[in-house]
């Protein structure tokens, strides 16, 4: 028997609280008998539920026709036997075939509907993904790169490695890494199709090779396990409502002995002189505002705990401060202005903040810009870098 035979290929579960049957992994049986326990579980779920049964196939990587037919048959039969029961099949836009294949079922039985899980991956992130934000993202990466290019080798970056950049956004970090460190291969994943389109356009225009951009959900990736020497995930755990799910996936795709590298902020520690008090007040409020939308932009110093709890060892943590002295102070000021537009604009409006609050909130950003551009001023944006090794 090979090690392959010992690996669990798929898993079926039933969550009674949510009335959700889920099946994940690779389901390619030769005979339907091999699905016996899973089919019994689905039948049992159908017998117990009222109203709606959710069938979650978001993490179903593969399913052959024999298995698809077996499960479909049970669902279709249940629709005919119990017209009161509705089925909602939750597919993933990442797994290309699932929506097409399961989508056929709704054409057969009207009580079966298909919901494709897609834009709701990251609640609140829509604020940060509008097209106008791209130049700001580029400026941010340019400013952090001055520091990270020196820091990365201490966290496992070296020539010839196989790496993944998860939540790669517009792909500019992957491009900088490719030029500076020449890894053998970079897989760069993001859930934003428009960001990936931009990244691919840049790759074509500048004839960049060695980066594979792929569409996916960081908390449920199609990538095989244990294949990367280094997995980077920058500024993303902090804007995900359940960062531990992403870390679990980063751990899974990292090779034993490889490292996972994360960067995050602690927004309340943004600082500036002069006008320090106003700046401090505003960034404290930024943290609360993100908290309202289930994002933790105070996560930076918590990185060590998160990595430990995810099972990593040899955890290394360091910080750096992006400042107005990193190149052109106007770049720093432009970033703050963009933050002000989004945070004191759409986000504050969405939370229902009044004009008085918004005016004071916005003033702090103005004062931060003032500090950045002042000939004797100093303005800072602190970043926490952390990495951990997956045990051998």
Residues that bind other proteins (CB under 8 A): 4-5, 26, 28, 30, 32, 61-62, 64-66, 69-70, 72-73, 76, 93-97, 99-101, 104-105, 107-109, 187, 189, 196, 200, 212-216, 222-223
Residue 94 vs 336, nearer CB to other proteins:
94
Residue 50 vs 80, nearer CB to other proteins:
80
Residue 1 vs 16, nearer CB to other proteins:
1
Provide the minimum distance between the beta carbon of 116 and other proteins in the complex, in angstroms, as a whole number.
8
Residue 70 vs 143, nearer CB to other proteins:
70
Provide the minimum distance between the beta carbon of 30 and other proteins in the complex, in angstroms, as a whole number.
4
Provide the minimum distance between the beta carbon of 102 and other proteins in the complex, in angstroms, as a whole number.
10
Helices of type H across 206-254: 243-253
Provide the minimum distance between the beta carbon of 74 and other proteins in the complex, in angstroms, as a whole number.
12
293: helix, strand or coil: coil
| 279 contacts 368 by C-beta, under 8 angstroms | yes
Q: What are phi and psi of 25, to 5 degrees?
A: 100, -150
CA-closest candidate to residue 364, choices 266, 265, 271:
271
Residue 167 vs 347, nearer CB to other proteins:
167
Residue 39 vs 383, nearer CB to other proteins:
39
233: helix, strand or coil: strand
CA-closest candidate to residue 21, choices 12, 8, 32, 34:
12
Beta strands in the chain (DSSP E): 10-15, 20-27, 52-56, 60-63, 86-92, 112-117, 162-166, 185-190, 211-215, 228-234, 254-265, 271-273, 313-323, 378-389
Residue 73 vs 154, nearer CB to other proteins:
73
The owner of tokens 């755990």 is 237
Provide the minimum distance between the beta carbon of 100 and other proteins in the complex, in angstroms, as a whole number.
5
Tokens of 125: 């992130």
Burial class for 313, CB neighbours closer than 10 Å (0-12, 13-18, 19+): exposed
Tokens of 255: 């090779």
Bridging pattern class, strands 313-323 and 378-389 = antiparallel
Residue 196 vs 297, nearer CB to other proteins:
196
Q: DSSP letter string over 336-359?
A: HHHHHHIIIIIIHHHHT--HHHHH
Provide the minimum distance between the beta carbon of 104 and other proteins in the complex, in angstroms, as a whole number.
6
Q: What are phi and psi of 320, to 5 degrees?
A: -140, 160
Residue 56 vs 238, nearer CB to other proteins:
56
Provide the minimum distance between the beta carbon of 99 and other proteins in the complex, in angstroms, as a whole number.
5
Provide the minimum distance between the beta carbon of 18 and other proteins in the complex, in angstroms, as a whole number.
25
Q: Render the burial of 69-107: b for 16+ CB within 10 Å, e for the rest.
A: ebbbeebbebbeeeeebbbbbbbbbbbeebbebbeebee
Whether the bond between 274 and the residue before it is cis, its omega within 30 degrees of 0, is: yes
Provide the minimum distance between the beta carbon of 212 and other proteins in the complex, in angstroms, as a whole number.
5
């Amino acid at each position: 028997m090979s090690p392959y035979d010992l690996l669990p290929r798929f898993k079926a579960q039933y969550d009674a609280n949510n009335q959700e049957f889920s099946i994940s992994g690779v389901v390619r049986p030769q005979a339907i008998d091999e699905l016996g326990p899973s089919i019994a579980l689905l039948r049992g779920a159908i017998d117990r539920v009222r109203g709606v049964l959710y069938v979650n196939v978001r993490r179903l990587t593969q399913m052959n026709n024999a298995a698809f037919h077996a499960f479909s048959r049970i669902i279709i039969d249940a629709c005919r036997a119990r017209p009161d029961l509705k089925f909602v099949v939750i597919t993933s836009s990442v797994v290309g075939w699932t929506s097409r294949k399961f989508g056929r079922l709704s054409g057969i039985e009207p009580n079966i509907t298909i919901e494709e899980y897609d834009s709701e991956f990251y609640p609140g992130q829509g604020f940060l993904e509008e097209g106008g934000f791209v130049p700001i993202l580029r400026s941010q990466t340019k400013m952090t790169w001055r520091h990270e290019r020196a820091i990365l080798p201490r966290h496992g970056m070296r020539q010839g490695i196989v790496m993944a950049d998860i939540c790669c956004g517009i792909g500019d970090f992957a491009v900088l890494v490719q030029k500076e460190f020449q890894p053998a291969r970079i897989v760069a994943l993001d859930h934003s199709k428009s960001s990936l389109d931009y990244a691919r356009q840049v790759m074509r225009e500048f004839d960049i090779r060695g980066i594979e951009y792929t569409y996916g959900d960081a908390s449920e990736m199609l990538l095989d396990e244990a294949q990367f020497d280094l997995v980077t995930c920058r500024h993303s755990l902090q804007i995900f409502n359940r960062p531990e799910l992403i870390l679990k996936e980063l751990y899974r795709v990292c090779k034993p002995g490889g490292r996972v590298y994360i960067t995050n902020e602690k927004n309340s520690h943004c600082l500036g002189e002069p006008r320090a008090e106003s700046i401090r007040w505003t960034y404290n409020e930024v943290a609360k505002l993100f908290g309202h939308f289930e994002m933790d932009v105070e996560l930076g110093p918590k990185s060590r705990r998160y990595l430990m709890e995810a099972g990593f060892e040899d955890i290394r943590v360091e910080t750096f401060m992006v400042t107005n002295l990193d190149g052109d102070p106007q770049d720093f000021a432009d970033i703050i202005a963009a933050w002000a537009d989004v945070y004191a604009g759409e986000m504050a409006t969405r939370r229902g903040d009044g004009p008085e609050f918004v005016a004071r909130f916005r003033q702090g950003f103005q004062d931060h810009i003032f500090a950045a551009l002042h000939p004797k001023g100093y303005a800072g944006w602190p970043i926490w870098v952390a990495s951990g090794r997956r045990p051998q």
